[in-house]
Structure 1
Amino acid sequence: MKYKISLFLLLIFSLNSCQNDNEKRLAENAKEEKKNEKIFNNINKAWVFIDEPINEASEKNVSAWNEWREFLKEIGEKPRKTIGAFQKKSTAISKKAIALNNNIPAEFNQPQIKSRISILITKVKMMDLFIHLSSIPDEKVTFLIGEINKELVSLERQMDKIVEKNKIPKEEGEADFLKMLDTTRAIPNSGPVPPIQNSPKVE
């Protein structure tokens, strides 16, 4: 009889323990779901990129430079519904950003433009890294969205500066002078220069 009572008490204890575990698990799941919902809402609210050209130079590039057009199109399409959709879109934006190094129009194939593209790529890749972490730091993702927009504006303003500079007519002979300053066009040394010998003095 004592054995049956002990067994019955053990069974009740086990069932009670399982119920407590279930309640704890459900509470944790609800907490995690609420946290994920907050992260999603924060990212969804901040996910606004400057996808329209801000000046004539950038607008001209949309038709002339395929990689620039594709990048602006990618950042202009906002994902919906799930954090997974944002992660997928972030990866796509990263790929399009890296492609900006290709086929840069000759007019803009300059160090000032290349350095800005490089900074833009770095910030896009950082955003992509953070949004794929198991625990997403939403404040870092939203901060980087703002930083990417700043870099976009900086890049487009630099394009405009180059266009405006190229419109200024060069003075006569300036083009030749600039060619002379270009060290890449200098005649290479074919060998060591022989030392100058002093000719003997005639008495």
Structure 2
Amino acid sequence: MKYKISLFLLLIFVLNSCQGEDEKRRAAYEKEAKKKEVIFNNINKGWVFIDEPINEVSEQNAAVWTEWRDFLKEIGEKPRKTIGAFQKKSAAIARKALLLNNNIPGQFNQPQIKSRISILITKIKMMDLFIHLNQIPDEKVIFLIGEINKELVSLERQMDKVVEKAKIPKEEGEADFLRMLDTTRAIPNSAPPLDQNLPKVE
């Protein structure tokens, strides 16, 4: 009889402890769900990219430079509903950004444009990395969206500068002067090499 009572009490104790564990798990799950909801809301609010060209040059580029047009279209489409949708969109933006190095129009195929594209790609990759972490640092993602927007403006302004600079007429002889400064076009030294066997005058 004593054996049955102690077995019964042990069974009740085990059932109570299981219920306590379930309640703890449920509370932890609810806490995690609320945290994810806050992160989602913050990213959803901060996900604002400058997807419209800021000047005429950038607008013209969108018409002829396919990669630029596709990139602007990609950042203009805002994901909805889940953090997973934002993660997919971030990965798609990163892929489109990498393609900006392809088929750069001739007049913009210059170091100052390429360097700005590289910086833009780096910041987009950082955003993509942060948004795919298990514990998403939403403040960093939002900060990087702002940085990406700054780099977009910088790139578009540089494009405008390149076009404006090309409109300035060159002075007479300036093209020849610039060619003379180019060391790759320098005239090679045509003097014969000195014979090492000749006696030296001291």
The code of the aligned residue for 1:194 comes to P
- Structure 1: distance between partners of 2:144 and 2:93: 13
- Structure 2: distance between partners of 1:30 and 1:193: 85
- Structure 2: distance between partners of 1:172 and 1:193: 36
Deviations 1:105-140 (A, max 9, x none): 110111110110010000000000000001100010
The 5 A counterparts of 1:1-203 are 1-188=1-188, 193-195=192-194
- Structure 2: distance between partners of 1:61 and 1:95: 19
What is the RMSD computed on CA atoms of the aligned residues?
1.6
How far residue 77 of structure 1 moved from its aligned partner, in angstroms, is 0.4
Describe the shift of the 1:193–1:157 C-alpha distance in structure 2 as closer, same or farther (beyond 3 A): farther
Secondary structure of the corresponding residue to residue 112 of structure 1: helix
Describe the shift of the 1:18–1:177 C-alpha distance in structure 2 as closer, same or farther (beyond 3 A): same
- Structure 2: distance between partners of 1:59 and 1:185: 36
Describe the shift of the 1:4–1:166 C-alpha distance in structure 2 as closer, same or farther (beyond 3 A): same
Q: Structure 2: 5+ residue runs without aligned partners?
A: none
How far residue 60 of structure 1 moved from its aligned partner, in angstroms, is 0.9
Secondary structure of the corresponding residue to residue 115 of structure 1: helix
How far residue 195 of structure 1 moved from its aligned partner, in angstroms, is 4.3
**TM-score w.r.t. structure 1 length?**
0.92
**TM-score w.r.t. structure 2 length?**
0.93
- Structure 2: distance between partners of 1:189 and 1:36: 70
Q: Structure 1: 5+ residue runs without aligned partners?
A: 198-203
Deviations 1:90-116 (A, max 9, x none): 000001111111111110111110110
The code of the aligned residue for 1:154 comes to S
- Structure 1: distance between partners of 2:9 and 2:132: 48
Secondary structure of the corresponding residue to residue 133 of structure 2: coil
